[in-house]
Structure 1
């Protein structure tokens, strides 16, 4: 039952996001990230502990700014993911720069095969989504299965 409820709210959010502009999606995602951090406090203690270990020279004020910024970025990316297939190729080119694209194309067409790895940095989904738009070829994408099978099927289709 939990999977059905999660999927219901996921679909509502998905439909809402698609009614507004990409810029507003980013604003709402950023605001929601600040809300989740400040009001809900999701994993707040863990985040502060890790940031203090990573940046012992930073003040509590700086640590707090980094933590809030991380949540803003994370939730902006989550909201953007719901909008990706609505972006045009020109819009994607506005957001993504690919300075080594010619080198990438040369490797891709060398006949030796190519493995592309993306990490959870900035909006990793937008980066991965943009590659076939910027360099139209056939790609095989390997992803981890989502816990909720309804959401997994939806995003995999």
Structure 2
């Protein structure tokens, strides 16, 4: 009960913070960067390990520069997500612009459901809000539940403020049945590491063998829904653009793992262009081919 009360108090504090304009929140974000990087050292060992393995040709000073830029981005991201508690529709669309939403509409308006995928790159949460506002049909967002249900409920309320439907990862198949008669966008943040028991396949990604989830490919091949990748660019602090790129328009004609390899190749290209804007603090490579079983 005490933990729950503390979490509820924390959520109330986040609501109060969200009432401040983003420029003021970015002041706190920069202070948070110094706290995370220089004082707490939040996951610095994991970030450094991931960067060194992913960019073996970069010198140590180059790695450190990316590392610092990542922590600045991470601090900004934290406060951008807090702002989502009360952000207006107008500000969402101003801060995250999709340049070619019509490539989805052409399918949805013809009653064809589509699958979307992206990574923990840029501000994927704000991108989800923007998609929900841009599309006239339902946007279904697959998410991985948190252990702290108070914060999970807060985050899901932020994610669903403008019409998005939140689907827990294990309820994906049920959602497909529920919405089978509607044209929907089913969206995945697909670069999460699978559980050890669910690790079936590795691909080369960022210069190392990487365990990947195969859910989006399985659904694509079972339903023959077109698959699109959301390429994100961080224009400046608090502003993003997204391009919607086709991964596969006819999954029935693909070979096994082709869709998975294609959307991870697109994500890798985003990361190589702007390496500081991916979530390096996640222990993404704790499972490798040697310890997978």
- The range that moved more, 82-91 or 69-78, is 82-91
Check whether the contact 1:105–1:135 (CA below 8 A) recurs between aligned residues: yes
> 1:117-156 residue pairs with structure 2 within 5 A?
117-156=117-156
TM-score, scaled to structure 1: 0.84
Query: Structure 2: how far apart are the matches of 1:153 and 1:86?
Result: 15
Q: Describe the SS at the equivalent of 1:70.
A: helix
Query: Structure 2: how far apart are the matches of 1:89 and 1:153?
Result: 21
The residue aligned with 2:217 is: none
Shift of 1:28: 2.1
Query: Structure 2: how far apart are the matches of 1:110 and 1:34?
Result: 50
Query: Structure 2: how far apart are the matches of 1:77 and 1:15?
Result: 16
The structure with more strand, counted as a fraction of residues: 2
> How many residues are paired up?
156
Query: Structure 1: how far apart are the matches of 2:34 and 2:108?
Result: 40
Check whether the contact 2:22–2:83 (CA below 8 A) recurs between aligned residues: yes
Q: Does structure 1 residue 45 correspond to structure 2 residue 45?
A: yes
Check whether the contact 1:34–1:68 (CA below 8 A) recurs between aligned residues: no
- CA root-mean-square deviation: 2.1
Residues 37 and 77 of structure 1: is their aligned pair in 2 closer, same or farther, counting only changes over 3 Å?
same
Higher RCO (CA < 8 A, seq sep 6+):
1
TM-score, scaled to structure 2: 0.48
Query: Structure 2: how far apart are the matches of 1:6 and 1:61?
Result: 39
The residue aligned with 2:113 is: 113
Structure 2, unaligned stretches of length 5 or more?
158-293
Q: Describe the SS at the equivalent of 1:154.
A: helix
The structure with more helix, counted as a fraction of residues: 1
Shift of 1:36: 0.4
Query: Structure 1: how far apart are the matches of 2:143 and 2:72?
Result: 24
Structure 1, unaligned stretches of length 5 or more?
none
